[in-house]
Amino acid sequence: MHNKNVVPFITEKSDCGSDHPVCQACEVRACGMCSELNTDTLQELRKITRTKEYKAGEQIFCDEEPTENYATIKSGIVKLSKILPDGRQQTIGLGFPPDFIGRAFKDKNSSFASALTDVTVCTFPRELFNDYLKSTPSLEHKLFELTLNELDSAREWMLMLGRMTALEKVAALLLDFSDRLHKARLLQGLDSEKNNFELLLTRAEISDFLGLTIETVSRQFSTLKQKNLIAIKNQRFIDILDRPALDILAGHENY
Amino acid sequence: MHNKNVVPFITEKSDCGSDHPVCQACEVRACGMCSELNTDTLQELRKITRTKEYKAGEQIFCDEEPTENYATIKSGIVKLSKILPDGRQQTIGLGFPPDFIGRAFKDKNSSFASALTDVTVCTFPRELFNDYLKSTPSLEHKLFELTLNELDSAREWMLMLGRMTALEKVAALLLDFSDRLHKARLLQGLDSEKNNFELLLTRAEISDFLGLTIETVSRQFSTLKQKNLIAIKNQRFIDILDRPALDILAGHENY
DNA sequence: ATCTTAAATTGACATAGATCAATAATATCG
DNA sequence: CGATATTATTGATCTATGTCAATTTAAGAT
């Protein structure tokens, strides 16, 4: 029944019965950074963590600010972006549970983080966490793997930004978003239909991600509807009608 | 005398007098991955390494191939790129000494690597190196830091690809390339003038990097010459005449 | 030197996507 | 429920960059 790519959260959680209550209830105990820690070590780390909530739209941290906290995303979606001095903006990544946010080993962030939906995170003070990381190889290893995944996806998006047409970009975004949302929902123990999801980004947010304008994004949606590749209800609820065709548009090779 | 950002190579090397001869002579002994290893541990790692050389243009590894080896760049410049099924290509990064190439913990590369100049690398068999990494936290830590730097620069380029004009992209590339080349040359113990360098990339390679065409890149060079921001000798030798102006074009904020 | 080949520049034109403006759909608030 | 504000769509242009083609420059071979 379980999707092979998804950590079977419910089952694993039961092994953590002696965790601190906050960790026991944590949505990402079994798949996030902490999954590498046993109850004792986690107890230790728990001393420096704090749960924080952000409403959709709120800023989590800022480019120029010194990093005070790192965080693990427990629920919701976080947007990472950069801006040019004249205000032009580019989204450089989306964070889903159980992603880590912040720049390890540096005292300055190199991007803005804001809450795309309502977000719950578990925060760690920077200095303490860096020390902790250096003395806990298993934790550092896990974080390294999360970082490698982020690098992979950043490079994937570079190909998209540099070489895809507007239509292809939108197709690629829809597929990527649907997959990640699907995984995140299964993680929460929710039912999830892969081809049917709520697009949580506004057209403006999508255009910041794809390096396009709002109008161009909107036109591509219309084209995809016309071609019967997707259907849209209320401008926010997407139905993927022809995934193979979208895959081809998005350049997902199928030999 | 030393640039603050550059590891004082000569001085440090003298501390490694009992290294294996190959490591002793290594250009990146003091600043690469191995800088975290003492002579004994390095002796151990040395058993699985092999030096390889590639001529400019040669392929180092391929997207679909299973990764057999990882490598550290000892000298030369490596180009990392991705291609879409229909052949469109995007360069996703340049590797300078002492960068690591390959995807740790995965058995498949997600990009092509080829030699931009003549290149010397030190290779490690994949499986052995992954094992070694897991049991040597200091090595993994260093590699993690190198990876974080790569992620930072990938995101920097995402902003460029998505939101900069052709002229701005070329300015940003020239500045980035001049800095990295400068550092690499100092590392080699060579004299280096920051504002005066050989552009080792062809117009085609530049256009693959910037998500543009050859012709557009060429036109931007002409514009920069006209504005007296740069001078070009023999199409390959760049003189930066007005760095502050280029910095502004490239969006490097100067408060 | 001269010939050959590859790379870079420049020009003329086409086009994808941007910009500006009007309308429509949806959400919010009293 | 209607009034207002926000977000999305659609249409009519405009423009930066792509495309195609001709010329120039440089590099290598003989």
CATH number of the domain that residue B242 is part of: 1.10.10.10
pLDDT at A16: 62
**Residue segments in chain A with a per-residue pLDDT below the cut of 50:** 1-14
Q: Which residues of A touch B36 (CB under 8 A)?
A: none
CATH number at residue A89: 2.60.120.10
Q: Write out the two tokens for A55.
A: 């409403």
Q: Which nucleotide is nearest to B201 (CA to C1')?
A: C7
Domain total of chain B: 2
Q: What is the C-alpha separation between A17 and A24, in angstroms, rounded?
A: 7
The Cα–Cα gap between B166 and B157 comes to 13
In-domain check, residue B27? no
Which of A144, A159, A174 corresponds to the end of one domain?
Answer: A159
Nearest residue of A to residue B135, measured between CA atoms = A137
Q: Which residue of B has its CA nearest to A82?
A: B159
Please name the nucleotide lying closest to A216, CA to C1': C17
Q: Are residues A121 and A139 located together in one domain of the fold?
A: yes
Same domain, yes or no, for B123 and B151? yes
Three-class SS state of A206: helix
Please give the distance of CA B56 from its chain centroid, rounded to a whole number. 14
Does residue A187 share a domain with residue A93? no
The boundaries of the domain holding residue A209 are 165-249
Helix (H) or strand (E) holding B91: strand B89-95
Find where tokens 């002409």 sit.
Answer: B222
Estimate in Å the CA A139 to C1' C12 gap, whole number.
60
Residues A125 and A186 in one domain: no
Chain B contact for A134, CB < 8 A? yes
Between CA B202 and C1' D27 the distance (Å) reads 14
Per-residue pLDDT band at B13 (split at 50, 70, 90) = very low
Which residues of chain B does A86 touch, with a Cβ-Cβ cutoff of 8 Å? Answer: 251
Supply the pLDDT for residue A121.
94
User: Cβ contact (<8 Å) for A162 and B85?
Assistant: no
Q: Cα separation of A170 and A160, whole Å? A: 10
Altogether, the residues listed in chain A come to a count of: 255
A40 part of contact set with chain B, CB < 8 Å: no
CB contact under 8 A, B163 and A103: no
Q: Whose CB is within 7 A of strand C?
A: A 165-167, 211-213, 215-216, 234-236; B 202-204, 214-215, 217-219, 221-222, 232, 235
Mean pLDDT rounded to a whole number for chain B: 88
Domain boundary among B141, B159, B177: B159
Query: Residue B254: exposed, middle, or buried by beta-carbon count in 10 A (0-12, 13-18, 19+)?
Result: exposed
Alpha helical stretches, state H, A19-136: 21-24, 39-46, 126-135
Instruction: Tell me how far apart the alpha carbons of residues A82 and A92 are, in angstroms, rounded to a whole number.
Output: 7
Residue A105 lies in a domain: yes
Q: In degrees, to the nearest 5, what angle opens at C-alpha B63 toward C-alphas B61 and B68?
A: 45
Q: Do residues B151 and B52 both lie within one domain?
A: yes
- The pLDDT tens digits for B30-75 are 888 889 888 888 888 898 899 999 999 899 987 777 778 899 999 9
On whether both B53 and B152 belong to a single domain, the answer is: yes
Contact yes or no for A159 and B253 at CB 8 A: no
Residues 6+ apart with CB under 8 A from A125: A48, A68, A69
Which pLDDT belongs to residue B134? 85
Q: Do B55 and B141 have their domain in common? A: yes
Nucleotides of C under 7 A from a protein CB: 7-12, 16-21, 25-27
Q: Is residue B216 part of a domain?
A: yes
Final residue of a structural domain among A137, A159, A181: A159
Residue B201 covered by a domain:
yes
The reply to whether A43 touches chain B by the CB within 8 Å rule is no
pLDDT band at B218 (very low <50, low <70, confident <90, very high): very high
State the average pLDDT for chain A: 88
Backbone angles phi, psi at A120, to 5 degrees: -120, 130
Q: What percent of chain B has pLDDT over 70?
A: 92
Confidence of residue B108 (pLDDT cuts 50, 70, 90): confident
Do A122 and A64 share a domain, yes or no?
yes
- Cα–Cα distance between B127 and B106 in angstroms, integer? 10
The string of pLDDT tens digits covering residues A11-39 is 444 456 678 899 888 889 988 898 988 88
Is B100 in the same domain as B182? no
CB-to-strand D contacts below 7 angstroms = A 202-204, 214-215, 217-219, 221-222, 232, 235; B 165-167, 211-213, 215-216, 234-236
Query: Are B54 and B154 within one domain?
Result: yes
Q: Identify whether A41 is part of a domain.
A: no
Q: Are B147 and B72 in the same domain?
A: yes
Closest-CA residue of chain A to B104? A148
Residue B36 belongs to some domain of the structure: no
B150 in contact with A, Cβ within 8 Å: yes
Q: Is residue B237 part of a domain?
A: yes
pLDDT of residue A17: 65
Q: Is residue A77 part of a domain?
A: yes
Query: Do residues B195 and B139 share a domain?
Result: no
